[in-house]
């Protein structure tokens, strides 16, 4: 008998799991006692080399009963299904998570309703999990998320349990809401990288008490309360030990919140170059979760009733600075205002508005339905665009190794916090029926030293005046071929706003360079190559780049557009610079159409780019308070002949007093 597990009709091979499920189904149909017993078993895998089948039982009595029928099981599997089993292992307990036998996910999910996300995740056997197989990976994530709604009752009971453990004293609890997403844990192995830490008993996401205690302890010690920390939270140093006065409880969400998330770096280092190579990485995080945290006095703390209040303040402040992984990308930031906000970090914050085609995670719009997809404001995109503009300046001032080191030092890397961070709190003012989304809120910059904060401020000004953020960041928000394109981003602060003024802009570029020099001295100017179509590299503000201001006095901001379908493709919305760009096939991107809704047309990928090749030209609309609007045009790699021709066209506008070259500085104009 061969080992390929064929059916008696010699059809194509079936997986051993398929055969086993079919066998159990047949026994149940016969209403046999064996079928009832086998239905309670968990399939543990089939080793084709040793012809060994493994089964797990939660009830030892049932295991013994089935084990007594092992000869009958072997004969029926062989005679009815052609599956040879020289040995069958009957084991009591839960099936391990390290079985080597590949199984079919859909079959498992159809045959057994799993009770929580942890069970769903670990029911998939390891050698099916090829990290390069995104379809398999996504199916695992979708199944895990789908299992969570059945846990609503568990969430309710655990929150009730937390209240009972603190004697129903509301002052001993802390209810915290997170503005965007949260990830705690998920750093030990392939499975754990997919999702946040899950409770080993209840199988749902949670924040371990040790994590909360560690966050409160770290914040208090950082802010000068070390002695009090040892007194209240205890200590264990060698032979010296002191019990804590306050106990932290594991914190659970108040309702299901697991969601598929994705990180897609657009630009990444490849050796000594930064290349455009978007690589999506899917995983799970908690989306806008709300947690109930419990604190209670220990036996030692009974004589210090204020200890809980003190620890609660520490924890509130710690959570306000962020908890878990990817904090510098906007994860783990609470909406709660600390009762006694203090911090050793330098900080600044600014209001913003963003009008965009949409910012998307793992489920972007499809070609069949241009408005389909799960749009959400993603703070990580704002941080990503600051990092992009950091490199755009840094690569003109430093050699590659210095730039790489400085970028890691400032922005951090996996498992290492950087010296500056950007977080946001935002409101969703969506208008998807019009083909775009609106958000407003506040951007928070924090840094370990004032020089890093100053650099972050200058990068924010640069990013908000030269381009947008997220999808369509290289174009203003407008209508093209009946679809919304581009985005509009404003950082609302009169002290940051730049007007149509040559001296102001050139002074600003000087400020940027000084901010970099304060962080790291540089005496040499470097040039870089933005790459060829299909092999795009990081854009750099070096001597081969140009920044132009183009007058656009009749342009109106997005909030003044009454009907996007009739006005969105007009010059008053697009602006003079974008209108000219679209009118010239020598410059516009390939396949972008002619701007009049007449379908696709030829363009120039060496200037305007194409799908998979980011444009070498950024165009941004600026609407200064009580000043005339204008557009900023940034061209990278003007030493290329096609882009040089575009720059020459802008120079013609300069001669007619319709444009200004503000970078690089040319004092002999």
Based on the fold, state whether residues 200 and 299 are members of the same structural domain: yes
- Give long-range contacts, CB 8 A cutoff, 24+ apart: 309-314: 309/171, 310/228, 310/232, 311/216, 311/232, 311/233, 311/246, 312/172, 312/174, 312/339, 313/338, 313/339, 313/340, 314/216, 314/217, 314/219, 314/220, 314/225
Strands of 486-525, DSSP E: 487-492
CA distance 22 to 39: 11
In a domain, 108, yes or no: no
Q: 264-278, 332-346, 452-466 — which is least confidently predicted?
A: 332-346
Residue with tokens 């806008």: 288
**Of 295, 313, 343, which residue is a domain's last?**
343
Whole-prediction pTM value?
0.74
**With helix as H, strand as E and coil as C, how does 306-359 read?**
CHHHHHHHHHHHHHHHCCCCCHHHCCCCECCCCCCCCCCCEEEEEEEEEEECCC
Based on the fold, state whether residues 320 and 465 are members of the same structural domain: no
Count up the domains in the chain and report the number: 3
Based on the fold, state whether residues 333 and 378 are members of the same structural domain: no
Per-residue pLDDT tens over the stretch 342-376: 555 688 999 999 998 878 777 776 554 454 567 78
SS3 536: strand
In a domain, 3, yes or no: no
In a domain, 668, yes or no: no
In a domain, 337, yes or no: yes
Based on the fold, state whether residues 235 and 96 are members of the same structural domain: no
Specify the DSSP element, H or E, that contains 660. strand 659-663
Can you give the C-alpha Rg of the chain in angstroms? 30
Based on the fold, state whether residues 257 and 285 are members of the same structural domain: yes
Based on the fold, state whether residues 322 and 358 are members of the same structural domain: no
Per-residue pLDDT tens over the stretch 186-233: 544 444 455 678 888 888 899 999 999 999 998 888 887 877 888 888
The distance of Cα 315 from the centroid of its chain, to the nearest Å, equals 25
Based on the fold, state whether residues 261 and 363 are members of the same structural domain: no
**Of 343, 363, 393, which residue is a domain's last?**
343
Task: Give the DSSP per-residue string, 18-44.
Answer: HHHHHHHHHHHHTT-HHHHHHHT-EEE
User: Quick check: 526 and 396 in contact, CB under 8 A?
Assistant: yes
The closest of 534, 445, 530, 440 to 490, measured between CA atoms, is 440
What are the helix (H) ranges across 527-627? Answer: 564-567, 571-574, 576-583
Per-residue pLDDT tens over the stretch 472-517: 999 999 999 888 899 999 998 878 889 999 999 999 999 999 999 9
CA distance 205 to 186: 11
In a domain, 536, yes or no: yes
Based on the fold, state whether residues 308 and 380 are members of the same structural domain: no
Q: 23-37, 109-123, 239-253, 640-654 — which is least confidently predicted?
A: 109-123
Find the largest Cα–Cα distance for the chain: 98
In a domain, 118, yes or no: no
Q: Is 382 buried (19+), middle (13-18) or exposed (0-12) by CB count in 10 A?
A: buried
| Confidence grade of residue 6 (pLDDT, cut at 50, 70, 90) | very low
Based on the fold, state whether residues 485 and 575 are members of the same structural domain: yes
Domain that holds residue 437: 348-663
Based on the fold, state whether residues 296 and 325 are members of the same structural domain: yes
Based on the fold, state whether residues 417 and 287 are members of the same structural domain: no
**Of 343, 375, 410, which residue is a domain's last?**
343
Based on the fold, state whether residues 353 and 266 are members of the same structural domain: no
What's the CATH number where 42 sits?
Answer: 3.30.300.180
CA distance 50 to 101: 12
> Considering the chain, what percentage of its residues have pLDDT values greater than 90?
39
């Amino acid at each position: 008998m061969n080992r390929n597990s064929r059916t008696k009709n010699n059809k194509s091979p079936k997986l051993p799991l398929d055969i086993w499920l079919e066998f159990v189904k047949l026994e149940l149909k016969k209403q046999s006692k064996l079928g009832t017993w086998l239905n309670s078993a968990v399939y543990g895998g089939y080793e084709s080399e040793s012809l060994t089948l493994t089964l797990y039982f939660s009830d030892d009595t049932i295991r013994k009963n089935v084990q007594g029928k092992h000869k009958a099981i072997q004969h029926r599997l062989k005679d009815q299904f052609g599956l040879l089993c020289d040995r069958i292992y009957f084991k009591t307990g839960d099936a391990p998570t390290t079985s080597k036998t590949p199984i079919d996910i859909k079959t498992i999910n159809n045959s057994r309703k799993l009770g929580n996300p942890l069970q769903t995740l670990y029911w998939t056997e390891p050698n099916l999990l090829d990290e390069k197989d995104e379809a398999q990976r996504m199916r695992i994530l979708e199944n895990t998320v789908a299992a969570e709604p059945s846990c609503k009752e568990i969430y309710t009971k655990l929150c009730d349990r937390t209240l009972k453990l603190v004697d129903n004293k509301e002052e001993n609890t802390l209810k915290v809401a997170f503005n965007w997403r949260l990830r705690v844990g998920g750093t030990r192995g392939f499975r754990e990288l997919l999702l946040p830490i899950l409770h080993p008993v209840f199988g749902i996401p949670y924040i371990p008490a040790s994590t909360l205690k560690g966050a409160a302890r770290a914040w208090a010690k950082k802010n000068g309360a070390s002695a009090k920390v040892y007194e209240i939270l205890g200590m264990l140093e060698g032979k010296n030990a002191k019990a804590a006065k306050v106990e932290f409880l594991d914190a659970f969400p108040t309702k299901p919140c697991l969601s598929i998330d994705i990180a897609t770096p657009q630009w990444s280092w490849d050796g000594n170059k930064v290349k455009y190579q978007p690589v999506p990485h899917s995983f799970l995080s908690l989306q806008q979760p709300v947690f109930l945290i419990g604190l209670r006095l220990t036996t030692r703390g009974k004589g210090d009733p204020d200890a809980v209040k003190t620890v609660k303040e520490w924890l509130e402040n710690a959570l306000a600075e962020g908890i878990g992984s990817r904090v510098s990308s906007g994860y783990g930031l609470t909406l709660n205002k600390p009762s006694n906000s203090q911090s050793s970090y330098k900080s600044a914050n600014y209001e913003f508005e963003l009008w965009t085609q949409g910012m998307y995670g793992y489920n972007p719009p499809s070609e069949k339905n241009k408005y389909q997809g799960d749009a959400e404001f993603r703070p990580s995109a704002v941080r990503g665009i600051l990092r992009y503009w950091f490199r755009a300046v840094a690569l003109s001032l430093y050699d590659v190794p210095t730039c790489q080191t400085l970028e890691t030092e400032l922005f951090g890397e996996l498992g290492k916090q950087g010296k500056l961070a950007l977080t946001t709190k935002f409101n969703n003012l969506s208008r998807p029926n019009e083909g775009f989304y609106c958000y407003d809120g506040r951007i928070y910059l924090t840094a370990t030293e004032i020089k890093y904060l100053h650099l972050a401020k200058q990068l924010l000004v640069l990013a908000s005046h030269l381009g947008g953020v997220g999808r369509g960041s290289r174009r203003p928000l407008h209508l093209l071929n009946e679809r919304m394109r581009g985005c509009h981003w404003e950082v609302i602060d009169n002290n940051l706003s730049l007007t149509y003024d040559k001296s102001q802009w050139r002074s600003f570029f000087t400020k940027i360079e000084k901010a970099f020099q304060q962080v790291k001295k540089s005496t040499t100017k470097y040039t870089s190559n933005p790459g060829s179509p299909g092999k795009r590299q990081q854009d750099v503000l070096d001597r081969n780049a140009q920044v132009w201001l183009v007058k656009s006095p009749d342009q109106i901001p997005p909030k003044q557009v009454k009907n996007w379908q009739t006005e969105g493709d007009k010059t008053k919305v697009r602006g003079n610079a974008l209108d000219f760009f679209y009118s010239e096939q020598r410059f516009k991107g390939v396949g972008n159409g002619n701007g009049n809704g007449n379908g696709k047309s030829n363009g120039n990928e060496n200037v305007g780019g194409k799908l998979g090749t980011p444009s070498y030209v950024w165009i941004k609309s600026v609407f200064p308070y009580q000043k005339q609007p204008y557009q900023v045009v940034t061209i990278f790699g003007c030493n290329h002949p096609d882009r040089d021709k575009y720059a020459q066209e802008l120079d013609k506008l300069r001669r007619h007093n319709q444009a200004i070259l503000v970078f690089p500085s040319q004092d002999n104009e």
